[in-house]
Every structure is written in structure tokens, then in C-alpha cells.
Amino acid sequence: AVASPAIAQSAPEIKWRLASSFPKSLDTIYGGAEMMAKQVAEMTDNKFQIQVFAAGELVPGLQALDATSNGTVEMCHTVSYYYVGKDPTFAIYASVPFGLNARQQNSWWYQGGGEQLGNEFFKKFGVIGHPCGNTGTQMGGWFRKEIKTVADLSGLKMRIGGIAGQVLQKVGVVPQQLAGGDIYPSLEKGTIDAAEWVGPYDDQKLGFQKVAKYYYYPGFWEGGPTVHAFTNLEKYNALPKSYQAILTNACANANSWMAARYDMQNPAALKQLVAGGTQLRPFTNEVLDACLKATNELWAEISAKNADFKKSIDAMQAYRSDEYLWWQVAEYTFDSFMIRSRTRG
Amino acid sequence: AVASPAIAQSAPEIKWRLASSFPKSLDTIYGGAEMMAKQVAEMTDNKFQIQVFAAGELVPGLQALDATSNGTVEMCHTVSYYYVGKDPTFAIYASVPFGLNARQQNSWWYQGGGEQLGNEFFKKFGVIGHPCGNTGTQMGGWFRKEIKTVADLSGLKMRIGGIAGQVLQKVGVVPQQLAGGDIYPSLEKGTIDAAEWVGPYDDQKLGFQKVAKYYYYPGFWEGGPTVHAFTNLEKYNALPKSYQAILTNACANANSWMAARYDMQNPAALKQLVAGGTQLRPFTNEVLDACLKATNELWAEISAKNADFKKSIDAMQAYRSDEYLWWQVAEYTFDSFMIRSRTRG
């Protein structure tokens, strides 16, 4: 792409529009884009302004990437696994079942070759991605009845989308695609039996605790999902180098900001949920083992017909093996002791 | 502080000097400052340049903070626990025994009130701090003999500094202060029995595996230490607002960068160490419990005579309790399953 004359100067006035996939009410995940835009404005004395539009204001939330690809907007803030219908490879750079935790996902992207692989793939859709938020490990969702065995999942109607839905389908779940606002009434009426969303802070806002008693963990399909900012590649390439650097640094800052903010907000929400009667339940090893087996089967099936997917999933899995080899030594044993000593007061 | 006329313009040319506490050979921890400075330069078309000097080039590594306080340099890149001799409160914003893991330390700083408390304290020394790197949980160090009980620590001469040394002294260790370059010969000669440094990647470079067989974990005194960039407060306040924002975002980016890079580098180093005969050993619960007890005693002693310390340690510990309440649910059970399933292949 060639820089347009209008922005050949070193600090031009630029106004961009960003389409978020999230409603304003989910202030932390939506807020990641606003935080990033605020940093860009402050770093440029308001010369580079990015106006953030909530899902539906310009385009529906799940069309944020298309609107960026085709230049309707310059940027979007979204989760790449929403676009597995175009290509399942998208999911790997956000989060896939039994993938990486948040810090490992960042390490893979920033230092382990993920950025090169990911942006090589995203280029096919005319965009460049920057991590711009992470939720940390999500919860496994809300269930109206207890799930102890794989047999308990049989025929269970669960709101869960994308590639995680495909995995759960292999163990008997009937995945349902529902927009955020439709989940609560469906759970209440019993049209669905279970639903996953994000974690305590966001889930509490949507009120799921009033219509489902059991709150399962961990959300093994989202160990540490990245929320990306995607920028139309031509628009990005036409920016002055200093603005590209400013955008990159603002996204990196927002990437940490979102995880830090969820980590601040989730404990209070969790305490309130439990005080209100929510029953926390871990997925049993039987369930987790069956889902891991289903996941590995699905990766083999997709890899057989999709070279991009194979390249990315193989790279991610090799990185994951090394990461957990190290993680289990210092990080995990530190956390283990801190958790054990905390409950002893 | 009043902006000086020279930098009243919106994008002035500025050249600063930064004193690092680290040698260039420790490329990741030293590299955090270079990475930050590179971002600042790129974001300003090289108008704002920060030249990074290794430990000893301008001032000795452990005088980096003083040189920043007194204006010899505008910035430094250092670990605040090096300065516990001035005030033990410094340690809390880097890492204290049984403190926070890396993501929690970030959450406390960015979202949990840590930044306000920390910078209120740092202001007394004429500096403002920005997190600019994190090593993740460190290793517990190299021991020439196995440590199974608290009795095994009695009289053990260990290279460990600062407040962690004070904790270990309470359980019988004789802490030794040694600069990085003096550790290897001291361990080799048997002048010391043990030494802690950072983690596999850095430790391997210093060659400790050749002179001590047992490599203990976790480094419970450094669950997720922050490396700070400190800026002389008057110099910072005199910067244009846009440059303040640029510096802040560059530090946030470097903060993630360092953790991502250590996470990438440590697995390979760990594999090489183990292949070379290093014996990994976890600290026993008896040792950890005794050290936690000693830590809590030390906090009570210091808090009784230091109001700043009490305010900060109380805030950190309250935050820690909430963080681990949440961490044990989704993050920890995800990591647990991933570690368990990894070893089954």
C-alpha cells in the first residue's frame, strides 16, 4: 500500500472509526478499545483519534471483522474465534479448547512466532491484528443441573459457539448459538439447559445466577483468550511509522489493562455469587478427559483439509508443551502453596 | 514542577540517559529498558531519545535509583527491592516473600490501587515508577546439598539479599550479599552453600549448574517481581503530556515484553539444565510453612515501626487474598489439568 498524500506529513490529523463486537454494558471487554483509543489520543495530542462504536451502532457485533476487511471502518475490537465460519484458523489466535493460558498466549504471540504466523493468516482478510485485551481463564458456564459424567452431557442444550461448540458436540452436547441478550430468557424458560459467557464479573451482570444454580469451572475452551484489535491493512500501512508504533504500544497497554481489570473485578463478583447461593463445581476429570480427546480428534479432522489450520495448531501445541513444562515448576508450585496457605488463614 | 521553556513546544527534541541495574549479558532483564527506549523513539520519530547505560557504565547498578533521585540521570531501570536499606517499603512494589504472582502484581498496580500507593511512596525519593518488566516466578536457587527440613537450613550460607534474606535468616540461613559476578567462584570454592539468582535462562548463563547440583523451586520470595522504570519526578512533570503518555505506554509494553520473553526462553534452558544433570527439587511444605511464618513475623515487626510499610503490606495482602480466591477457581484448575494431561502425552 502507498501512503496517501493526506498523511505523508509526520503528525497528521486522523480520525478513525472502530467497530466493537461488544455492548457498552460489558464495560471491561468493551472498555479495552476505549482505553486503547484514549492512549492513542493522549500520545498524539489528539491528532490521531479513534472513535469507538459499540456492537450494533455501525455494524452488528459479529460483522466487525468484515467491516474492517472491506474498509467500512478502519478498525475493530473483537475475538477472532467469532470468525471460525470463515476459517477455523481464526480461533487459534484467540483461544481454542485446551490451548494456552493468558501469559502463554501473550508469550506465543509476542516472542514465540505467533505474531508472524497470525498476521500472515490475517493478511488474507486484509487486516493486521494486535492483541488488545485478555479475559484470563474463563468460567465453564451455568448449568441447571449437575454434570458429573460424560453421560450427563448427552442431549444437553448449551449456549456455546464456535469451535468449542464443535468439541462439546462430540461428547453429546447440542450446542446453541445465541446472542448475549437471548441467553437469560432461554435459560429461564428452559429452552436451553446451560450457557457459557465469560466469568464472574460479566456473568453476574447478565443475571445468570437467577436462572441456573451450578457454575462450572474451568472454561477449558478459553484458557486465556486474546481480544484483538484488527486494523484494515491498507489503512495501517498508510499510517506514518510513528503512528503505527503508537497504535502498537496502545494495544499492548490495553492488552494488560483488560486482564488486570478482570483480575480486580472477578473476586468481588465471585464472592457475591457464592453468597447468593450459586454452587461452584469443577468439571470432573472424566468430562475433561473426554473433551480433550474430542478436541484432539477435531484438530486432526480439520488439519487434514486445512493447511493454515494445521500450521498454526501444530505451532501452538508445540509452544504449549514447552510452556507447561516450565510453568509446572516455578509458577504452578508458587500458586499451589499460596492457595493452600490462604485457606488456612 | 514547572515546564522549562525548552520543552514547552509540543514535540521537543529530548535526549535522556537511563541507568540500568543490569549488565548487558543478562539480555532479557537488561533488554527491557532498551525495548522501552526503542518504543519511545519510534513513537516520536526519534525526537524523544532515551540512551540506556548498563550497570557500572555511569553508576554502579545498585545506585541507579539514587542517580535518578538526584538528577544525575533522568531515568533508571531497576528492581525496587534493591533499596530496602533506605526503606523496606520499596520491596513491596517489586516482590516480597509470599506476595503476588506476575499477573496479580500487575493487577494490583494498574487496577487495585498499587500505583497510587506506590507512587505516593516513591515521591518521597523524587521519582515516579512505571512497571517495565516482570520475570515471572523465579527459581529458589542452587544448593550444593539437599534441603529437606528446616534443620537443613541451619547455618547454610546462601547468597540472597534484601528482605528475603531477612526472612531466611529467621529459619537459620546465613544470608550473604554478593554481586552477580562473585557468586560462581564462591559456590565453586564452597565459601557459600547456595545461591539464588533468577530462573533457568539467566542462571544457566552464569553457569551455576557446574558448581551446585540441586535446583530448588519455587522462589517463594519472588512470585512475580516487577522491574520498574523510575523517572526523576521533576523531569517527568516537565515533559509534554504526550511524552508522558508515550513513556507510560512504552513501559507497559516492555512490562509484558519481558515476561513474554522469559516465558519463551526458560523452557529450553530448563531442558538443557536437566539434560546436563541438574536435579530439580521442590521446597518441602515444612520449609515453606516455616518461611511463611517467619515472613509474617517480619511484617509485624517492620509494621510496628514503619507506617508506610504497614499501609502498603496491608493493602497488598488484602489484594492477594482476593486474587487467590479467584485464581484457584478458573486459572489454577485450567493449569492443573493442562499440566496433568501434558505429561500423559
Interchain proximity A341–B98, CB inside 8 Å:
yes
Residues on chain A touching B334 (C-beta within 8 angstroms)? 101, 137, 218-220, 223
Please tell me if residue A186 touches chain B, with a CB cutoff of 8 Å. Answer: no
| Chain B nearest CA to A33, separation (Å) | 15
> What DSSP state is assigned to residue B83?
G
The answer to whether residue B335 neighbours chain A at the CB level (below 8 Å) is yes
- Angstroms from A46 CA to nearest CA on chain B: 9
- Does the beta carbon of A217 lie under 8 angstroms from any beta carbon of chain B? yes
Cα A96 from Cα A88, distance rounded (Å):
10
Is A21 an 8 Å CB contact of chain B? Answer: no
Residues 38-77 of B with CB under 8 A from A: 39, 42-45
Q: What is the pLDDT of residues B238-265, one digit of tens each?
A: 999 999 999 999 999 999 999 999 999 9
Q: Which of B45, B217, B260 sits opposite A107 (nearest CB)?
A: B260
Type of residue at B271: K
B11 inside 8 A of chain A by CB: yes
Return the pLDDT at A177: 86
Mean pLDDT, range A334-341, rounded to an integer: 97
Residues in chain A within 8 Å Cβ distance of B111: 257, 260-261, 263-264
Helix (H) or strand (E) holding B214: strand B214-217
Contacting residues of B for A219, CB less than 8 Å apart: 330, 334
Contact A326 B44 (CB under 8 A): no
* Residue of B42, B271, B333 with shortest CB distance to A245: B42
pLDDT for position A307: 98
The residue-averaged pLDDT of A306-319 equals: 98
Q: Residue B265 half-sphere exposure, CB side, CA atoms within 13 Å?
A: 20
Query: What pLDDT is stored for residue A343 in this prediction?
Result: 75
What pLDDT is recorded for position B273? 98
Q: Is A318 on the interface with B (CB under 8 A)?
A: no
- Give residues 122 to 141 of A whose Cβ lies within 8 Å of B: 136-139
Which of chain A's residues have a Cβ under 8 Å away from the Cβ of B259?
Answer: 103, 106-107
B330 in contact with A, Cβ within 8 Å: yes
Which pLDDT value is given to residue B177? 86
**Chain segment A16-71, per-residue pLDDT in tens:** 999 999 999 999 999 999 999 999 999 999 999 999 999 999 999 999 999 999 99
Query: How does residue A179 score in pLDDT terms, banded at 50, 70 and 90?
Result: confident
Whether residue A280 lies within 8 A of chain B, CB to CB, comes out as yes
Mean pLDDT in residue range A188-209: 96
Each residue's pLDDT tens digit, B130-180: 999 999 999 999 999 999 999 999 999 999 988 999 999 999 999 998 877
CB contact under 8 A, A280 and B342: no
| Mutation to test the A interface, candidates B326, B328, B343, most A Cβ within 10 Å | B326
Under the banding of pLDDT at 50, 70 and 90, the label for residue A7 is very low
A78-100 pLDDT tens trace: 999 999 999 999 999 999 999 99
Q: Collapsing DSSP states into helix, strand and coil, what is residue B126?
A: coil
For A325, which of B259, B267, B324 is closest by C-beta distance?
B267
Q: Burial code of A48-68, b = ≥16 C-beta within 10 A, e = fewer?
A: bebebbbbeebbebbbbbbbb
Q: Do B330 and A44 touch (CB under 8 A)?
A: no
Measured between CB atoms, which of B102, B260, B335 is closest to A111?
B260
* pLDDT number for residue A180: 79
What confidence score (pLDDT) does residue A2 get?
45
Percent of chain B with pLDDT over 90: 93
Is the ipTM, as predicted for this complex, more than 0.85?
Answer: yes
Substitution target from A49, A139, A264 for chain B, most B beta carbons within 10 A? A264
User: Residues 288 to 317 of A: which have CB under 8 A from any B CB?
Assistant: 288-289, 292
Spell out the domains of chain B, with CATH numbers in brackets: 11-134+223-265 (3.40.190.170)
Distance from CA of B156 to the nearest CA of A (A): 22
**A258-277 pLDDT, tens digit each:** 999 999 999 999 999 999 99
Average pLDDT, integer, range A204-212:
96
CA distance A109 to chain B (A): 9
Tell me the pLDDT band of A161, cut-offs 50, 70 and 90: confident
* pLDDT range class, residue A178, cuts 50, 70, 90: confident
Q: B104 and A259 in contact by Cβ < 8 A?
A: no
CB-based contact (8 Å) between A263 and chain B?
Answer: yes
Supply the DSSP string of B243-278, one letter for each residue.
Answer: HHHHHHHHHHHHHHHHHHHHHHHHHHHHHHHHHTT-
Model confidence at A72, in pLDDT bands (50, 70, 90)? very high
Taking CA atoms, what residue in A is nearest to B132? A253
> Residues of B with CB below 8 A from A259's CB?
103, 106-107
Q: What is the pLDDT of residue B9?
A: 62
Tens of pLDDT, residue by residue over B192-228, are: 999 999 999 999 999 999 999 999 999 999 999 999 9
Q: Confirm or reject contact between B337 and chain A (CB < 8 A).
A: yes
Contact across the interface for A338 and B331, Cβ inside 8 Å = no
What is the per-residue pLDDT for B2?
45
CB contact under 8 A, B218 and A106: no
Chains A and B form CB pairs within 8 A to the count of 241
Query: SS3 sequence, chain A?
Result: CCCCHHHCCCCCCEEEEEEECCCCCCHHHHHHHHHHHHHHHHHCCCCEEEEEECCCCCCCHHHHHHHHHCCCCCEEEECHHHHCCCCCHHHHCCCCCCCCCHHHHHHHHHHCCHHHHHHHHHHHHCEEEEEEEECCCCCCEEECCCCCCHHHHCCCEEECCHHHHHHHHHCCCEEECCCHHHHHHHHHHCCCCEECCCCHHHHHHHCHHHCCCEEEECCCCCCCCEEEEEEEHHHHHHCCHHHHHHHHHHHHHHHHHHHHHHHHHHHHHHHHHHHCCCEEEECCHHHHHHHHHHHHHHHHHHHHHCHHHHHHHHHHHHHHHHHHHHHCCHHHHHHHHHHHHHHCC
> Does residue A6 carry a pLDDT above 80?
no
Interchain proximity A110–B270, CB inside 8 Å? no
Mean pLDDT of chain B: 95
Q: pLDDT value at position A9? A: 62
Q: Check B338 against A217: CB less than 8 A apart.
A: no
| B107 in reach of chain A (CB within 8 A) | yes
Please give the residue of chain A at the shortest CA–CA distance from B222. A334
